[in-house]
Chain A
């Protein structure tokens, strides 16, 4: 299974909105509403930010939102803050009953 494709880096100024894409196939992203997004700060474990394409776990800021169209899922961070600077990974359940992660995106707050 191939990793889902994400942009290597995305940047934005404080207060702006950014969107990270996550492209897969009809066997993963396009086939199931089981796309999730993780935030990872250096040296830390990943933290779940979005699950089931667009649901937010309790405690996650509503500045984070998710969506999907066809084989591409997206994570939008609105009102960008310095603390949002981190690596972000998408993940999808697959038709083989496995999981695949995205290549990862480094978000920089300018």
Chain B
């Protein structure tokens, strides 16, 4: 059973960079034809896809966030990471990592709340 777990600071100051890591257990991040995504959800609002990475290193990003987002993978640690620069209060949200195929996100982490505040 694949499990994903997000980790990182719960509080980030405005204009700084938000950094989160997703650790995958129960299977190798390199096995199978899977994409690894980040998705966020502001309190009381809907889901927003941030971006994804394939284990080859190829990435796709949400156009609205593309200039500020970097997703990377470390296959030796079975982890992938998110960096979001120049954050504002609008980036306050629960951030989820998820495993995906071309058509869906089948395994999700429990989510981690990141608050942007001074």
A positions within 8 Å CB-CB of B: 1, 3, 33-36, 38, 45-48, 51-52, 57, 89, 91, 93, 96-104
Contact = CB atoms under 8 A, between A and B. Distances in A.
B108 A45 contact: yes
A45 B109 contact: yes
B103 A36 contact: yes
Contact of A91 (B96, B104, B110): B104
B103 A100 contact: no
B106 A91 contact: no
Interface residues of B, number: 23
Nearest to B48: A101
B46 interface: yes
A34 B102 contact: yes
Contacts of B110: 45
Contacts of A98: 49, 60-63
A56 B99 CA distance: 17
